């Protein structure tokens, strides 16, 4: 059990962020090794001659000291990663490397300590005696049992203090394991001879304690990975959520500050020009922005409000023509503003709302929002325009922060899903090693490949620029390389020819299509070239050309005639082909059944050609 705990933790050391579990997992390798030596010292084993019962007791004490001290120091390595989650995400590869390095450091330290203690017992013979023939258990052994129990109870307190790093069920299992280990040691303290009842009771306690650790680390941590591997992600999401709430409140405050008066004041058609001007000036004085009027040539006539605060220039500088309004606008946004103004000239009733960037006199860049319309009064030929400009830099910063938080959250989810799928793949690999039946082993390998095809998509989405789409051509290259590597034995003469265009697909299409390619290429590698030393597998992904659907016995004509498709995926080989009498849509093969179901899922069409080998043609939309 100790070795299984170590093996699972060690295989996941680069992805497991909970250092408590890494340390305990590595420690259990050495604890299990010492316990194994302890077992070999029992009477009848005849492995170690000339040592007697004292060796058995010494190894037991050594293993229990290693166990208790490990539980005591493990909580010290728990680090909260909730704050600075954005930095954590950007340094994900560094963190993975640190997790692996930490595991190696722990392994090295425990290795040195264990080897030193074993040398002290077997060669130097200076390890304190735990049992003396004719006298029985020594005071050192008795005192050690109490000290070990005390250390275990202290480690239980330390674990309780750090309980927020674990899911409730995991924490309870770990706490129960430590509790049973402590009581097991106390039962050993009550014995006066190694064969008495307290000794047997203590061993049962110890066995149950190991089982609970197994359940906490393996049963919960890996059979239900989201309860453990997602623990720190939940803390980060909570931090992001609090930030989002704060930024949302800031955005609402900005909107309230702007107020609804802008539209009513701007669009209120007064019969009397003097009253209109009075209302306009009154609004400008209270509005935290700029109120302005332009002539028929879009040159400023009046500017009131926070002109200098927003632009850095005085209103007299702009009205006198020393500073051109268009020059304040960033060059990248000037064409947008001029385009809207031209539309306003052509349509007097149009109200333009636009957002763009300006550069203040100090060089600082600000986001502003402009609302402008033609002045509506009794004179139909009036060429004046009026409008408002207000600072929206705070709102834009809030929007960008929220977008960044959402982006980090989505990428973190992709990263975690990929890790969990890799853990499942590792478990399948471990389980497959227990079987000798080739069909069973092959079934495990097929399942691993299917899981890997999905994990690879999440890895691409995690590392790519887009959150919801990926370069499927690049993905196909990596997927087929992995498949050829998986089936490489005896397949060195099989060649792969890829003709793929750069196509970006969403996750809902990419995952089913990835599994389809996985099944088709796997089938070709397994069955198409049996008895042959060479062959070729071809994969083509192209945009739809002018109607390429030809009449073929295995074509779904109704599907092809009723839909228009953007892409065509072709997977073919020049192997022995599928027998004519086999209908791939109704076969018992799980792989072909998956292909049919997944093609329907992406609302595509599939056809099979048997002219030269096997060729599957799949038409679909992105």
For the chain, the average pLDDT equals 79
What value does the CA radius of gyration of the chain take, rounded to a whole number of Å?
36
In this prediction, residue 178 carries a pLDDT of 93
Render pLDDT for 561-585 as a digit per residue (tens, 0 to 9). Answer: 667 788 999 999 988 888 888 888 8
Domains of the chain from N-terminus onward: 2-229 (no CATH), 230-258+397-463 (no CATH), 260-391 (3.30.450.20), 466-622 (3.30.565.10)
* Span 175-207, pLDDT tens digits: 999 999 998 888 877 765 544 556 677 778 888
Q: What tokens appear for 590 in the block?
A: 């799980």
Instruction: Give the pLDDT score at 462.
Output: 78
In the prediction, which pLDDT does 67 show?
A: 94
Q: How far is CA 200 from CA 135, 185, 197, 235, in A?
A: 21, 11, 5, 44
Dump pLDDT digits (tens) for 335-374: 888 888 788 777 877 888 888 999 998 889 999 988 888 8
What pTM does this model have? 0.47
Percent of the chain with pLDDT over 70: 78
Question: 3-state DSSP call for residue 455?
Answer: helix
More confident residue, 83 or 477: 477
> Which of 205, 200, 198 minimizes the C-alpha distance to 183?
205
Q: Is residue 38 a contact partner of residue 59, using CB atoms and an 8 Å limit? A: yes
Lowest-confidence region among 48-62, 378-392, 491-505:
378-392
Lowest pLDDT segment from 161-165, 275-279, 327-331, 493-497:
275-279
Mean of the pLDDT values across residues 295-310?
A: 85
Mean pLDDT of 217-232: 49
pLDDT of residue 444: 87
User: b/e map of 266-295 (b: 16 or more CB within 10 Å)?
Assistant: beeeeeeeeebeeebeebbeebebbbbbbe
Mean pLDDT of 78-101: 54
Burial class (CB in 10 A: 0-12, 13-18, 19+), 239: middle
In this structure, the strands spanning 494-500 and 535-543 are parallel
pLDDT at 223 over 80: no
Confidence class of residue 168 from pLDDT cuts 50, 70 and 90? confident
Whether 236 has a pLDDT exceeding 60, the answer reads no
Tell me, letter by letter, the H, E, C secondary structure of 388-452.
Answer: EEEECHHHHHHHHHHHHHHHHHHHHHHHHHHHHHHHHHHHHHHHHCCCCCHHHHHHHHHHHHHHH
Q: What phi, psi does 221 have (nearest 5°)?
A: -65, -25
pLDDT number for residue 456:
86
Tell me, what's the pLDDT at 241? 56
User: Residue 338: phi, psi to the nearest 5?
Assistant: -65, -35
Please report, rounded to a whole number, the percentage of residues in the chain having pLDDT higher than 90. Answer: 19
For residue 369, which of 290, 299, 301 has the smallest C-alpha distance? Answer: 290
Contact 256, 249 (CB under 8 A): no
């Amino acid at each position: 059990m100790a070795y299984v705990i170590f093996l699972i933790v060690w295989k996941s050391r680069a992805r497991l962020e909970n250092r408590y579990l890494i340390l305990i997992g590595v420690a259990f390798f050495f604890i299990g090794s010492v316990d194994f030596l302890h077992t070999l010292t029992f009477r009848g084993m005849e492995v170690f001659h000339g040592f007697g019962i004292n060796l058995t007791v010494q190894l037991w004490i050594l293993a229990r000291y290693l166990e208790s001290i490990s539980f005591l120091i493990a909580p010290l390595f728990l680090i909260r990663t909730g704050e600075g989650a954005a930095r954590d995400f950007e340094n994900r590869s560094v963190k993975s490397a640190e997790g692996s390095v930490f595991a190696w450091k722990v392994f090295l330290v425990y290795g040195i300590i264990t080897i030193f203690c074993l040398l002290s017992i077997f060669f130097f013979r200076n390890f304190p005696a735990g049992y003396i023939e004719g006298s029985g258990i020594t005071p050192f052994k008795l005192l050690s049992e109490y000290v070990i129990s005390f250390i275990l109870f202290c480690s239980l307190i330390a674990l309780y203090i750090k309980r927020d790093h674990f899911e409730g069920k995991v924490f309870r299992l770990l706490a129960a394991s430590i509790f049973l280990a402590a009581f097991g040691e106390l039962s050993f303290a009550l014995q006066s001879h190694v064969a008495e009842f307290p000794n047997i009771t203590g061993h049962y306690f110890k066995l149950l304690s190991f089982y609970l650790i197994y359940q906490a680390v393996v049963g919960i941590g890996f059979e239900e990975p989201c309860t453990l591997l997602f623990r720190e992600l939940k803390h980060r999401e909570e931090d992001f959520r609090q930030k989002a709430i704060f930024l949302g409140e800031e955005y609402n405050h900005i909107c309230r500050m702007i107020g609804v008066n802008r539209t009513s004041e701007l669009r209120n058609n007064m019969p009397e020009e003097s009253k209109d001007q009075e209302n306009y000036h009154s609004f400008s004085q209270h509005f935290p922005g700029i109120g302005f009027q332009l002539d028929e040539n879009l040159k400023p006539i009046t500017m009131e409000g926070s002109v200098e605060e927003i632009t850095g220039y005085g209103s007299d500088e702009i009205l006198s023509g020393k500073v051109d309004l268009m020059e304040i606008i960033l060059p990248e946004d000037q064409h947008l503003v001029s385009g809207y103004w031209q539309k306003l000239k052509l349509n007097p009733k149009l109200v333009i709302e636009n957002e763009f960037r300006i550069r203040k006199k100090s060089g600082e860049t600000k986001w502003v929002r402009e609302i402008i319309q033609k002045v509506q009064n009794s004179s139909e030929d009036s060429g004046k325009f009026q409008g408002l400009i207000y600072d929206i830099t705070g709102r834009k910063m809030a929007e960008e922060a929220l977008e960044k938080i959402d982006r980090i959250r989505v990428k973190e989810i992709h990263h975690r899903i990929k890790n969990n799928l890799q853990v499942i793949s590792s478990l399948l690999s471990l389980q497959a090693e227990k079987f000798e039946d080739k069909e069973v082993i092959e079934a495990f390998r097929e399942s691993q490949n299917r899981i890997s095809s999905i994990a690879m998509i999440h890895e691409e989405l995690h590392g790519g620029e887009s959150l919801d789409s990926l370069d499927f051509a690049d993905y196909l290259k990596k997927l087929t390389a992995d498949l050829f590597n998986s089936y490489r034995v005896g397949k060195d003469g099989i060649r792969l020819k890829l003709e793929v265009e750069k196509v970006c697909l969403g996750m809902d299409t990419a995952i089913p299509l990835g599994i389809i390619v996985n099944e088709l290429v796997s089938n070709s590698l397994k069955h198409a070239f049996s008895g042959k030393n060479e062959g070729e597998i071809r994969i083509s992904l192209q945009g739809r050309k002018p109607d390429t659907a030809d009449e073929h016995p295995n074509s779904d004509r109704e599907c092809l005639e009723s839909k228009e498709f953007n892409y065509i995926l072709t997977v073919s080989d020049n192997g022995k082909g599928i027998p004519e009498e086999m209908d791939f849509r109704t076969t018992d093969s799980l792989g072909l059944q998956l292909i049919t179901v997944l093609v329907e899922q992406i609302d595509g069409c599939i056809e099979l050609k048997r002219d030269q080998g096997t060729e599957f043609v799949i038409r679909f939309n992105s």
